[in-house]
Structure 1
């Protein structure tokens, strides 16, 4: 009995040590998962402004841009050269700009050693021009998509979309803005001088392992990559000297997994004037706006002579559980961009009380409803399959899509080609930041949204568009489906599994 006692005591002691070690390890992981640069950033670098892409106009009126995907090196830290990818440069890409009604063509060359694509996020265009995973461009290859711009003024963007590798390609630096203008927006008294009082703000979170990017996923992070600092337009710790009373910030969450809650360090209010698909009907005054990966927001902030204010990302208030709040980055905060007002500012007019007219359906003419259940295992229980058409929609009709996330982790939802109206969030009227035209929405676990959209064509039964979670780790893992647009009575065609072509 005494020997058994001793054995039990030893075993109990070992178990206690193991439990303490495991508990201590978890507490260390939990504490280490929280990241914050708020209040400690020195803002030592002037904000880089992506150049406006040069273009030529053909005899038929087509505006032609050139984009080359290429490898490069960039000095993010003094004396350290980081391997990168970019469009027409070492990191990120130029800002493309076109007007409603214009024909555009983009001559794309791929000089990388991997096949990739260029997807026009938020653009209404034919499926064959969409730049999804079915339009791969081989190393050394080229592709020239062309279409007519037929949507309101808005802040869109472009990025790669290769199936299974989108996260990696975006992280390396392949992204840029695509701005659309129209007659109505040009007639509004809004800040509009690009790079002066109308600023592109491409926000990414990054982590460095010495001189190279660290793209590893945290041990407990089910959302994907989460960095420990942010950059704007490829600039770490950025500031921008401004000389106007009102500044328009075109916010783009170009991160692959992180959700930002943007506000200012002094809690000043700003005017939200636009969302993914263009201007709101009227501005909304707020002090926070939340953007998940892929979402955009246009805000106007008022400055006083000589003052400084910091655009900050605050901890996420989205009803996440204990685990996801910490390990999905919900407790993190970042100083993103400092605005420095000149001693004397050019006066700016008030933000107009009326801005635009929404061109998205209100749900009253819906002819069909569809349901989408978001899970890491796939959407509606099916993982992405390149040769399978999941949904077939009829050109010229409106539908209401009900999207639900009860997966126990955050997701969001992006639909190619269309802008939609958020009708309901958990049965209630959506908040101000979801009242405009949208193509991407954030759904914390336990959230259900109803989205109204119209499919205006053109019909193409053989070439699909995508819908997917835009947390890119989730997308790459199979949280994506495909739909085709067909004429009334037409059936979906047979989609061929693509391989990269050196298209011309």
Structure 2
């Protein structure tokens, strides 16, 4: 039995040029009278929202007090590979790692989470030094980058009042309250088991209530689940407007009634509640009928093919300085011309394979550099998914643009900057990405599926950006 419905917790914000984060153990009452051992940053579960300013320098000091080796990755941030927080930037128990870098990103919603890598076989993954294990315990937090563009836009900007962070997660528990990572004896052949559950958390609370005014409200939504894909909408099927994707604002608001959000993707949406004073509506995931097209039958749970509620939104009187209209435009996005790519005639291939479970028929090897890219080049990548399961594909280092899905232009809400793209079963997605900063022939960036159990068993690879006059072969 879950605890009584609570108000939506709003993570505290941390500002400044030097920010300290402590990874520590904690506990949380998710079930009535049952305490769940957890982990968090600067607290027992999840972490504070880091607010960074584009064009400034920041130092992030991360102390590991969780008792096992870990890392902390700045997901979506444009940083040198040595500061990326991937599996090579290990933080041993009791030690502190400092990541210092200039903030080069556009205004957007990013996040941070552990990213260690243990050499794991397929099946059930219960290694406490794996990414999936540590994120499932609660180690994650949001990053908000602000810049002159975000300052000037007529959008809701009062954090926690009309600009609301929403961190979506799903969990499963033992009867005593402990986290249940996998059902007992569950290990489907040739596929890793997934951490999914029927307790749906928003900012660490199950089915909480968000109290807002009768006005335009901005929701910054992060899918921080290990493996769950959400098909988001509202209980009355109202239209809402997506204004930003992973790496920044869209050109103009995109009207939607459903938003498919895979693990690690972010979206900022506006919902107009100006005529809803006194009403309550629900943020819901409309997964009924969706699961069969994204998740193989043997890996489905009840919520892959059912609708479920995430958040109650109770609408009161409008607050001061309320935004009452949806802007017509947002920003300018310059498409990366395909012709800029040095490999347009022969895109770099990435096949997400199931046997072995990896990329291009290979499992992740910490000692192998899979791709070498010349500093200053722009490349087209072709990501092919020949499997029956959807895979969210993430590239470290900086954002990219989606060129095509299955040979067709992407939907309007994917025409901005992305760092995760969901590749559907039996689909090929083409992206274009610039590699114009931060050469280091020894320290790699990662590319991988962001279903964390897939990443942990080897659906990940390593790339280095290096100076040179010759374009790398592949």
Tell me the TM-score normalized by structure 2.
Answer: 0.90
Choose the corresponding residue for 1:466, options 411, 436, 446.
446
1:439 equivalent to 2:439? Answer no
Alignment deviations for residues 377-413 of structure 1 (CA, whole Å, 9 cap, x no partner) = 2100111010111111111211000000012222120
Alignment deviations for residues 328-368 of structure 1 (CA, whole Å, 9 cap, x no partner) = 65303220111101045554242221112226624231112
User: SS at the partner of 1:115?
Assistant: coil
Aligned partner of 2:240 in structure 1 is 270
CA deviation after TM superposition for structure 1 residue 281, in Å: 0.7
1:49 equivalent to 2:10? Answer yes
**Separation in structure 2 between the aligned mates of residue 271 and residue 152 of structure 1, nearest angstrom:** 20
CA deviation after TM superposition for structure 1 residue 484, in Å: 0.4
Aligned partner of 2:300 in structure 1 is 327
**Separation in structure 2 between the aligned mates of residue 281 and residue 128 of structure 1, nearest angstrom:** 33
Point out the more displaced range, 138-147 or 390-399: 390-399
1:100 equivalent to 2:60? Answer no
Aligned partner of 1:257 in structure 2 is 227
Q: How many residues align?
A: 446
**Separation in structure 2 between the aligned mates of residue 322 and residue 398 of structure 1, nearest angstrom:** 33
Alignment deviations for residues 88-108 of structure 1 (CA, whole Å, 9 cap, x no partner) = 000000000011101010011
Aligned partner of 1:313 in structure 2 is 285
Choose the corresponding residue for 1:212, options 160, 170, 178.
178
**Separation in structure 2 between the aligned mates of residue 444 and residue 302 of structure 1, nearest angstrom:** 31
**Residues 278-317 of structure 1 aligned to structure 2 (within 5 Å):** 278-303=248-273, 304-315=276-287, 317=290
Look at both structures and tell me which one has the larger radius of gyration over its CA atoms: 1
Point out the more displaced range, 130-139 or 322-331: 322-331
1:370 equivalent to 2:361? Answer no
CA contact (8 A) 1:223 1:410 kept: no
Structure 2: runs of 5+ lacking an equivalent: 119-129
**Residues 99-498 of structure 1 aligned to structure 2 (within 5 Å):** 99-164=53-118, 165-209=130-174, 210-217=176-183, 224-303=194-273, 304-315=276-287, 317=290, 320=293, 323-324=296-297, 327=300, 330-344=304-318, 346=320, 347-358=322-333, 361-368=336-343, 369-376=347-354, 377-489=357-469
User: SS at the partner of 1:364?
Assistant: helix
Structure 1: runs of 5+ lacking an equivalent: 1-36, 56-62, 493-504
Alignment deviations for residues 144-176 of structure 1 (CA, whole Å, 9 cap, x no partner) = 010001121010000000003000000000000
CA deviation after TM superposition for structure 1 residue 44, in Å: 1.7
**Separation in structure 1 between the aligned mates of residue 433 and residue 337 of structure 2, nearest angstrom:** 8
Alignment deviations for residues 23-72 of structure 1 (CA, whole Å, 9 cap, x no partner) = xxxxxxxxxxxxxx9xxx998210000000254xxxxxxx0100000011
**Separation in structure 1 between the aligned mates of residue 292 and residue 426 of structure 2, nearest angstrom:** 9
Point out the more displaced range, 316-325 or 295-304: 316-325
**Separation in structure 2 between the aligned mates of residue 400 and residue 155 of structure 1, nearest angstrom:** 25
CA contact (8 A) 1:246 1:302 kept: yes
Q: CA RMSD in A?
A: 2.1
Point out the more displaced range, 73-82 or 419-428: 73-82
